[in-house]
A = this chain, B = another copy of it.
């Protein structure tokens, strides 16, 4: 995948504008994946055991919301959001209008909602991106409004990548 990625056009802050949209590849989730994620990170009956899940709020086995999120991130990184510098988030808002079920094929559509250059750091800025994760029926299973840090084109020259830049990650109030 790293090879494939390096062939993609990547977007710096200057290349992004409100309303721009990106679509990811797809990922099909099966029961084994759901159980494996749940066993390690969300061990509850409705994510682990199809029989036990019938007697719960969900009426059957469903993926952990955090599994839907993890698959969404994989799709964004590998194909959905081709940002220069990678996908570096400081936080966001998440909701699950309906659960992911075994057999669902997920894709992510991302739309840039805000582009904000940093006042103090010319090498970067912040964007807000709405990411809708949809199943094969077009139903939205997750909405993630993500706050991301994106380098400017000047970055290669001044070193966006330097360790001293880390303090910015620790201060979500100013990108």
Contact = CB atoms under 8 A, between A and B. Distances in A.
Contact of A46 (B73, B74, B86): B86
Interface string A148-175: 0100000000001111111011101000
Interface in A56-86: 56-60, 64-66, 69-71, 73-74, 77-78, 85-86
A138 interface: no
B44 A86 contact: yes
A64 B56 contact: no
A166 B53 CA distance: 12
Given A43-B1, A78-B43, A172 B97 contact: yes
B86 A91 contact: no
A91 B88 contact: no
A55 interface: yes
A91 B17 CA distance: 27
Nearest to A142: B91
A89 interface: yes
Contacts of A93: 91-94
A90 interface: yes
A136 interface: no
Contacts of A172: 95, 97
A73 B169 contact: no
13 contacts: A37-B70, A43-B74, A44-B86, A45-B86, A56-B86, A57-B85, A57-B88, A57-B149, A58-B163, A92-B94, A93-B93, A96-B169, A97-B172
A166 B58 contact: yes
A40 B78 CA distance: 11
